[in-house]
Amino acid sequence: MKTIIEPFKIKSVEPIKMTNRTERETYMKEANYNLFKLDSEKVIIDLLTDSGTSSMSARQWAAIMQGDESYAGSPSYHRFQSAVRNLMPFKHIIPTHQGRAAEKILFSIVGGKGKYIPNNTHFDTTRANIEFTGAVGVDLVIEEGKNPSLVHPFKGNMDLVKLENFIKEKGVENIPMVMTTITNNSGGGQPVSLENIRATKAICVKYNIPFFIDACRFAENAYFIKIREEAYFNTSVEDIVKEIFSYADGCTMSAKKDALVNIGGWLAMNDDVWAQQARNLLILTEGFPTYGGLAGRDLEAMAVGLEEVVQEDYLHYRITSTQYLGNHLLEAGIPIVRPAGGHAIYIDARAMLPHIKPLHYPGQSLAVEMYLHAGIRACEIGTVMFGAQPDGSEKEASMDLVRLAIPRRVYTQSHIDYVIEALTEINTRKNELGGMKITWQPPQLRHFTASFDFM
Ligand code: F0G
């Protein structure tokens, strides 16, 4: 059969409120043309993020009723710990309320002035938590990973030559760890090959530097390995996941992605001294080490989500349905980052709207029009997000993208067809789209709260 169906039935539904363009023009104006300031009830298809937006399964909801809410030593913690260890066999598994809480704790221990932490590409919260300690986050993704239109099976790979040179240049004593983000969200949701993970680990072993994985989308990355890396064509996703983590000394995880839950995360590692320090910090800000900022029921939902996310029927549908959106946009002549990522399609707004200068925010203009035209909410990843300079000036970002992030198990193919139709229609009259300007902005992280208007 050619048709790939959603491998689930729908038992519980949430209504979508339909709106028309006139209503959306009012809502968008009230939100100062900032998609983050829109109430979600005014959105028809919400592609702002795939984080914390998954639908949980009947089994997960059932597990929630088994949550044991004891302050210390809950059986829910033990179920969570064994589900994590089944895939990621680390000695210490420390639950946190989400990914950035794990990052904050980890970098409070290993960061600090004069330290450098390389990654393929740091996600913004990872970089922010590193920089908050005075350390420097460094992105060393391969050159192919920076070219949106170039097709390469593993555009998230670490540039191994650059990594080794960087270690020699800065000195082993200044590099407390090397990280790899799977999949590489900030680089277009692109996967990292097992060969590259193994080689990164080998460099870390050579210089005696711990190797950590930012594991948010580990299952999607493992599925890409299964279908793109010849040596793994006949290996199960579960075994690929186990091999990935066998090379790591620890990981940070946002369970809001590939643990199929709405809140949760963890920090995992083998080092006893760091783990002791991490648990002390955890108690300060998150909670006791057997619940870490979560309820027992959240731990139960994660444990079941981890079993479900490595099922190959699910991953086949997940990756294929994201590709389906990407392929149809390409057919409509809309430039996207290629190949399609695992959790999102990134439209190259700068290439699509060459008449709008980067400093007039082509990504924001497209995102606003997607909402006005069809009630679709997406996220600008470009000059609005990265253009503000510390001295108050502004510079164009390296790319102007619009991310269509696909929540897990939420939308059906007809929802996606609606998105394709909307973008195809916008593309036929793209020359009518104009630039935008910022009328107010905060000193940091301006994309969340800035006000915009048309030029
Ligand atoms: N690392 C990566 C690669 C991420 O994509 C995210 C979150 C985090 C860490 C932080 O996790 O949100 O649980 O604190 N990404 C979301 C996104 C927000 O929309 O891409 P968190």
Rg of the chain over all Cα atoms, to the nearest angstrom: 22
255 CA closest ligand 1 atom index: 13
- The whole-number pLDDT of residue 188 equals 87
Residue 14 resides in a domain: no
Cα dist from 85 to 30, 223, 245, 249, 306, whole Å: 47, 19, 10, 13, 10
Residue 391 resides in a domain: yes
Q: Of 277, 308, 339, which residue is a domain's last? A: 308
Could you tell me how far CA 51 lies from the centroid of its own chain? Answer: 7
Regarding whether 331 and 261 lie in a shared domain, the answer is no
Residue 65 resides in a domain: yes
- The whole-number pLDDT of residue 46 equals 98
Regarding whether 333 and 300 lie in a shared domain, the answer is no
CATH number for the domain harbouring residue 89: 3.40.640.10
* pLDDT > 90? residue 245: yes
Residue 302 resides in a domain: yes
- The whole-number pLDDT of residue 333 equals 98
- The whole-number pLDDT of residue 1 equals 85
Q: Count of domains in the chain? A: 2
Mean pLDDT of 104-115: 98
Residue 4 resides in a domain: no
The vertex-216 CA angle with 385 and 297, nearest 5°, equals: 115
Mean pLDDT of 223-247: 98
- The whole-number pLDDT of residue 445 equals 86
- The whole-number pLDDT of residue 398 equals 85
Residue 7 resides in a domain: no
* pLDDT > 90? residue 320: yes
Cβ(167)–Cβ(206) below 8 Å: no
* pLDDT > 90? residue 79: yes
Regarding whether 139 and 93 lie in a shared domain, the answer is yes
Question: pLDDT confidence of 443, banded at 50, 70, 90?
Answer: confident
Regarding whether 218 and 340 lie in a shared domain, the answer is no
Distance 215 CA to ligand 1 centre (A): 10
Q: Of 308, 324, 348, which residue is a domain's last? A: 308
Burial 265-288 (b: 16+ CB within 10 A, else e): bbbbbebeebbebbbebbeeebbb
Residue of 123, 179, 260 to mutate, ligand 1, most atoms within 8 A of C-beta:
123
Mean pLDDT of 217-239: 98
Distance 234 CA to ligand 1 centre (A): 31
101 CA closest ligand 1 atom index: 14
Measured by CA distance, the residue closest to atom 1 of ligand 1 is 123
Over residues 134-166, the pLDDT tens digits come to 999 999 999 999 898 999 999 999 999 999 999
- The whole-number pLDDT of residue 300 equals 98
Measured by CA distance, the residue closest to atom 12 of ligand 1 is 99
Residue of 53, 104, 185, 262 to mutate, ligand 1, most atoms within 8 A of C-beta:
185
Mean pLDDT of 84-113: 98
Regarding whether 320 and 281 lie in a shared domain, the answer is no
- The whole-number pLDDT of residue 3 equals 87
Q: Is the overall model pTM greater than 0.85, yes or no?
A: yes
Distance 256 CA to ligand 1 centre (A): 8
Angle between helices 75-87 and 237-246 (to 10 degrees): 90
First to last CA, the chain: 50
Tally the residues of the chain. 455
Question: pLDDT confidence of 98, banded at 50, 70, 90?
Answer: very high
If we measure between CA atoms, which residue out of 431, 426, 216, 222 comes closest to residue 311?
222
Regarding whether 413 and 294 lie in a shared domain, the answer is no
Regarding whether 128 and 223 lie in a shared domain, the answer is yes
CATH number for the domain harbouring residue 386: 3.90.1150.10
* pLDDT > 90? residue 2: no
Residue 13 resides in a domain: no
- The whole-number pLDDT of residue 284 equals 96
Regarding whether 328 and 239 lie in a shared domain, the answer is no
Percentage, residues of the chain above pLDDT 90: 95
Regarding whether 207 and 118 lie in a shared domain, the answer is yes
Regarding whether 45 and 78 lie in a shared domain, the answer is no
Measured by CA distance, the residue closest to atom 16 of ligand 1 is 51
Residue 3 resides in a domain: no
Count other Cβ atoms within 10 Å, centred on residue 50.
Answer: 26
Regarding whether 206 and 63 lie in a shared domain, the answer is yes
The rounded distance, in Å, linking the Cα atoms of 178 and 208 is 11
Distance 123 CA to ligand 1 centre (A): 7
The amino acid present at 163, given as its one-letter code, is L
- The whole-number pLDDT of residue 442 equals 92
The rounded distance, in Å, linking the Cα atoms of 335 and 329 is 7
Q: Report phi then psi at 364, rounded to 5.
A: -65, -40
- The whole-number pLDDT of residue 390 equals 81
Which residues contact ligand 1 via a Cβ below 6 A?
Answer: 49, 51, 98-100, 123, 125-126, 181, 185, 214, 216, 254, 256, 265
Burial 91-113 (b: 16+ CB within 10 A, else e): ebbbbbbbbbbbbbbbbbbbbee
Over residues 173-201, the pLDDT tens digits come to 999 999 999 999 988 899 999 999 999 99
Over residues 255-290, the pLDDT tens digits come to 999 999 999 999 999 999 999 999 999 999 999 999
Note down the domain range covering 321: 21-50+311-454
Regarding whether 438 and 328 lie in a shared domain, the answer is yes
Measured by CA distance, the residue closest to atom 4 of ligand 1 is 123
Over residues 350-371, the pLDDT tens digits come to 999 999 999 999 999 999 999 9
Distance 325 CA to ligand 1 centre (A): 22
Q: Of 284, 308, 332, which residue is a domain's last? A: 308
Distance 51 CA to ligand 1 centre (A): 7
Tokens 């989400």 belong to residue: 98
